Chain A
Amino acid sequence: GQQVMQIPQYQHVQEGEDFTTYCNSSTTLSNIQWYKQRPGGHPVFLIQLVKSGEVKKQKRLTFQFGEAKKNSSLHITATQTTDVGTYFCAGRSTDKLIFGTGTRLQVFP
């Protein structure tokens, strides 16, 4: 079945440093969505990318969708303690959204 992997599994950064998580799917995706889950919370939708090579920005967050539509990345510039959480990419396969393995971000002040 379809698999969606993310690296790294964990990332610890000093506040102000940048952070990137990479997402790779075993199959071509029609679109990719990104979610953030705060510790003890539920996944919250961040953004959706649809077009090959698409780049979207949300303040300090930059999302990219690969040309082959099999990979994506999320880059956070100048992390803040409020960025702490697990970031999941998710790709749609038929009617279900398959979540990636997630990258847990810890930011030290």
Chain B
Amino acid sequence: EPEVTQTPSHQVTQMGQEVILRCVPISNHLYFYWYRQILGQKVEFLVSFYNNEISEKSEIFDDQFSVERPDGSNFTLKIRSTKLEDSAMYFCASRAGRTNSPLHFGNGTRLTVT
């Protein structure tokens, strides 16, 4: 069964550094998302992406965050200058084009900012 893949599984970075989290969504999916989950808390929406542009973003997704789909397969989340409070599990998800199709999540990247 096709799956969403994320790399790396764990990223440790120093405060103020830039990080790029990578995702390969399921190949025939059209909608892409980033969510984050601080340890033990709920899954929070960051951004949705469709047709090569951001379709919606949350208050968390400020100008320190950006997303890109540089080619036909990768979907990346960049955090320009990480803060301690950015430490969380970041999940990429994708879904097919039909209305209300479910999200398929990757295994996540655990980001630790020190």
Best-buried of A33, A42, A45, A98 by chain B (most CB within 10 Å)? A42
B106 part of interface (Cβ distance < 8 Å)? yes
Interface size class of B (residues with CB under 8 A): 20 to 34
Q: A95-B56, A96-B56 are in contact. Are A43 and B100 (CB under 8 A)?
A: no
Distance, CA A48 to CA B103, complexed state (A):
11
Is B91 touching A30 in the complex (CB atoms < 8 A)?
no
Number of interface residues of A (CB under 8 A): 23
Q: A96-B56, A99-B45 are in contact. Are A44 and B105 (CB under 8 A)?
A: yes
Distance, CA A44 to CA B56, complexed state (A):
22
Is B100 touching A30 in the complex (CB atoms < 8 A)?
yes
A residues within 8 A CB of B106?
Answer: 42
A residues within 8 A CB of B43?
Answer: 37, 43, 88, 99, 102
Q: A43-B105, A92-B100 are in contact. Are A99 and B42 (CB under 8 A)?
A: yes
Q: A33-B102, A95-B31 are in contact. Are A43 and B42 (CB under 8 A)?
A: no
CB<8 Å pairs between A and B, sample of 25: A31-B100, A33-B103, A37-B43, A41-B107, A42-B91, A42-B105, A42-B107, A43-B105, A45-B102, A45-B103, A48-B102, A88-B43, A95-B31, A95-B55, A95-B56, A96-B33, A96-B45, A96-B48, A96-B58, A97-B33, A97-B103, A99-B43, A99-B44, A99-B45, A102-B42
Q: Which residues does B use to contact A, with CB under 8 Å? A: 31, 33, 35, 42-45, 48, 50, 55-56, 58, 91, 100, 102-108
Having A42-B105, A45-B104, A98-B45, one finds 12 other A-B pairs with CB under 8 Å, namely A33-B102, A37-B43, A42-B107, A43-B91, A43-B103, A48-B100, A48-B102, A95-B31, A95-B55, A96-B58, A97-B45, A99-B42
